[in-house]
Amino acid sequence: MTQEATARAHPNIAFIKYWGNQDEQLRIPVNSSLSMNLEGLYTETMVNWDHRLTQDSLIINSVEQSGDALKRVQTHLSALRNHIDGIEGHAKVISYNNFPMGVGIASSASSFAALTLAAVSASGQQLSESTLSSLARLGSGSASRSIPTGFVEWHKGVSHETSYAESIATPDFWDLVDVIAVVSNTHKKVGSTEGHQSANTSDLQLARIANAEKRLQDCKEALLHKDFHSFATVVEEDSNLMHSIMMTSRPPLFYWQPTSIELMHLIPEWRHEGLDVCYTLDAGPNVHCICNRIHAEEVSRRVRNISGVLDVKSAGAGRGAYLL
Ligand code: PMV
């Protein structure tokens, strides 16, 4: 017997970042985080459980995968087999991404959210959103935030069941746009899984964690009051703090490129000129310019004029993971 389902999920951009784990195996983070799903960018994944298969296989964008990508998906499917009753055999996974992977747009978030939802549904199970979010987290921490809709808070929790994400506002609550300045198209050398593991080697990590909850509350309040100025201040500070950890870890991680820094100088100036825009960067050099939709076109125009910017992508707030 074979069972099949297809799901779609969006990546998300964190306003308050996740960096470092309490439990590496279960990806239980040291701090809670806050994000927005990105509409328009997506991963679509079909999972077919087949009791005749002797191992899991993976195709991404029409290319049969082997090595690390396949191993990570197989590990996740094994975790799902352990957590869910009634899955028989192995899976054939066919996935499609409509945006570049491994360059600071969280493709692992949308990939593991879509994979989890499709794999669970194909097994015939119906699980709660928080359970799906916890399961997605096992594949990639930030994937937990791509399960619920719109603006999302991931409660760090203390165990597998208590570490999950939930929506704090629907996508239409605040008309924010992420104007993504693509500064590099090359695959990053050190991925976030490795980065999380070295976060505790930075002398600054304890200081970052100490105030993470306060920043999250400030960010959430600014978001729920649509107070762009307060929002911008805490979002930029939190991104700078995470990159300070990266740069002071052993070995150090430098994700910024000259164009990233150029934009980090310009964006606060644009804000002083009256544009509602702020920056945040993930584990890559691309700059996410978070702005009010009324200013998105102007921000996009200015970003395109910078010589080191290779491409610009724009995404509003998106929904959670869903079945097709
Ligand atoms: O889910 P991961 O392991 O790809 O980690 C994501 C880490 C950051 O993107 C840098 C921050 C975040 O909260 O999304």
- Rounded CA-CA distance 84/125 in Å is 8
Q: Which of 119, 141, 172 is the last residue of a domain?
A: 172
CA distance 244 to 235: 14
**How many domains does the chain divide into?**
2
Helix axes 107-122, 67-83, angle to 10 degrees: 40
**Contact assessment for residue 246 and residue 253, using Cβ atoms and an 8 Å cutoff:** yes
38: its two tokens: 């990105």
Tell me which amino acid residue 1 is: M
Residues 66 and 119 in one domain: yes
- Give yes or no: residues 84 and 162 share one domain: yes
Q: Please state the rounded mean pLDDT for residues 74-94.
A: 92
> Do residues 21 and 72 both lie within one domain?
yes
Asked if 34 and 153 touch (Cβ cutoff 8 Å), the reply is yes
Q: Are residues 137 and 184 in the same domain?
A: no
Ligand 1 nearest-atom number relative to CA 12: 14
Residue nearest to atom 4 of ligand 1 (CA): 192
Residues 140 and 218 occupy one common structural domain: no
Of 172, 205, 227, at which residue does a domain stop? 172
Same domain, 148 and 233: no
Structural domain including 252 reads: 176-316
The 10s digit of each residue's pLDDT in 197-249 is 999 999 999 999 999 999 999 999 999 999 999 999 999 999 999 999 999 99
CA distance 119 to 176: 32
Ligand 1 pocket test, pick from 103, 142, 147, 249 with the greatest ligand atom count within 8 Å of Cβ, gives 142
Mutate to test the pocket of ligand 1, among 21, 36, 101, 282 (most ligand atoms within 8 A of CB): 282
**Which residues is 8 bridged to in the sheet?**
44, 322
The yes-or-no verdict on residue 61 having pLDDT over 60 is yes
- Asked if residue 17 and residue 99 are part of one domain, the reply reads yes
**Structure confidence at residue 185 (pLDDT):** 76
Q: Which two tokens stand for residue 285?
A: 């050099």
Confidence of residue 87 (pLDDT cuts 50, 70, 90): confident
Among 125, 146, 172, where does a domain finish? 172
Pocket residues for ligand 1 (CB within 6 Å)? 14, 17-19, 33, 106, 108-109, 140-142, 192-193, 196, 282-283
For residue 282, the ligand 1 atom closest to its alpha carbon is 10
How far does residue 144's CA lie from ligand 1's centre (Å)?
A: 11
Peptide bond into 251 cis (omega under 30): yes
Flag whether 321 is in a domain: no
For the CA of 143, the closest atom of ligand 1 is 1
Whether 77 and 195 map to the same domain: the answer is no
CA distance 59 to 220: 38
- Residue carrying structure tokens 């950890």: 245
Predicted confidence (pLDDT) per residue in 106-158, tens digit: 689 999 999 999 999 999 999 999 999 999 999 999 999 999 999 999 999 99
CA distance 79 to 76: 5
Is residue 11 located within the same domain as residue 116? yes
190 and 163 inside one domain: no
- What crossing angle do the helices spanning 129-139 and 67-83 adopt, rounded to 10°? 150
The confidence score (pLDDT) of residue 263 equals: 98
pLDDT at residue 1 tops 60: no
Pocket test for ligand 1, best of 10, 12, 13, 19 (most atoms within 8 A of CB): 19
**pTM across the whole model:** 0.96
Atom of ligand 1 nearest to the CA of 108: 4
Average pLDDT over residues 4-25: 97
The CATH number linked to 234 is: 3.30.70.890
- Ligand 1, atom nearest to 13 Cα: 14
In a domain, 41, yes or no: yes
**DSSP line for 86-154:** T--SEEEEEEEESS-SSSSS-HHHHHHHHHHHHHHHHTT----HHHHHHHHHHH-GGGGGGSS-SEEEE
Do 140 and 243 have their domain in common?
Answer: no
Average pLDDT of every residue of the chain: 95
And the tokens for 292? Answer: 């009010």
Tokens of 90: 């192995």
> With 60 as the cut, is the pLDDT of residue 102 above it?
no
Ligand 1 pocket test, candidate residues 12, 17, 18, 247, most atoms within 8 A of CB: 18
| 322 domain residue, yes or no | no
What does the DSSP assignment read for 178-213? EEEEE---SPPSS-HHHHHHHGGGSTTHHHHHHTHH
Q: What is the CATH number of the domain that holds 131?
A: 3.30.230.10
